[in-house]
Amino acid sequence: MSFVFAFYSHVFRELCTKLNILRPALGIFGGTFDPVHYGHTQPVIVAARQAAVQSVAMLPCHIPVHKAHAPSASRHRLAMLKLAIEQYPQLYIDEREIHSDTPSYTIHTLRALRKEYPKHPLCFFIGMDSLHSLLSWNEWQALFDYCHFVVCCRPGSKKPLSEELTHLLAQRQVSTNNALHNALNGKIFLADTPELAISSSEIRQRIEDKQPTDDMLDPKVRRYIETHKLYQPSTTF
């Protein structure tokens, strides 16, 4: 039975390739996740549902290029992320960046993913704050050659768009998710996601001050933090 299934799966893949049929869209959501919290997981889950993206890779970076804060050890951030998403089958972890010894540039990761998934539309999930800074990303214009952007609304998203961003949206924004699945890349989809005013820096401070974080991050993550004595004034990572 398994042989028959494998055979027909292979035939289907070959047929899709010959007919140039696109495969299911893949989601990617990158971050430092130091620590991961509900402001990461919940908007992405809602945005993925609206974009009709069935699975999203959580992509923890090793050396963030845009953060002044030195991140916690990779092993701790990875362990916390595993705990935070274990109840969400649509989320999984891609570890390629966190094991790298070089800074994490989105364009490099997308090029690698495109080679691995030549027929899958790639949907890169970002917050509205990241959209505002998109024009400062490394090779930002080339990003659209590899992926779509699905933008999660976040607190502060009412900030006026620059003239350049307004022009970019006029060129690339789509109002329905069908457009994300009918092309490999190049579109921007604005998702209507919950506005959760949570930041990792605030959580780190609350943990240092021994304040509750029940409405900010998964209790399993908080227990891990306390067990490993993370985010303490004397902590050495």
- What is the average pLDDT across 195-212? 94
Q: For a pLDDT cut of 70, what percent of the chain falls above it?
A: 86
Q: Which domains does the chain have, with CATH numbers?
A: 24-227 (3.40.50.620)
Residue 237 has pLDDT above 60, yes or no: no
Higher pLDDT, 8 or 69: 69
Please give the model's pTM, rounded to 2 decimal places.
0.87
State the pLDDT at residue 79.
Answer: 98
Can you say how many angstroms the Cα of residue 92 is from the centroid of all Cα atoms in its chain?
10
DSSP string covering 16-66, please?
HHHTT-----EEEEEE--TT--HHHHHHHHHHHHHHT---EEEEE-SS-SS
74-85 vs 219-227: helix crossing angle, rounded to 10: 150
Tens of pLDDT, residues 74-122: 999 999 999 999 999 999 999 999 998 888 899 999 999 999 999 999 9
Question: Can you point out the beta strands (E) in 94-214?
Answer: 122-127, 148-152, 173-174, 188-191
Tokens of 171: 């060129």
Packing angle between helix 74-85 and helix 38-51, nearest 10 degrees?
50
Residues pairing with 93 in the sheet:
58
18: pLDDT strictly greater than 50: no
Q: pLDDT per residue over 79-89, tens digit each?
A: 999 999 999 99
8 A C-beta contact, residue 84 and residue 221: yes
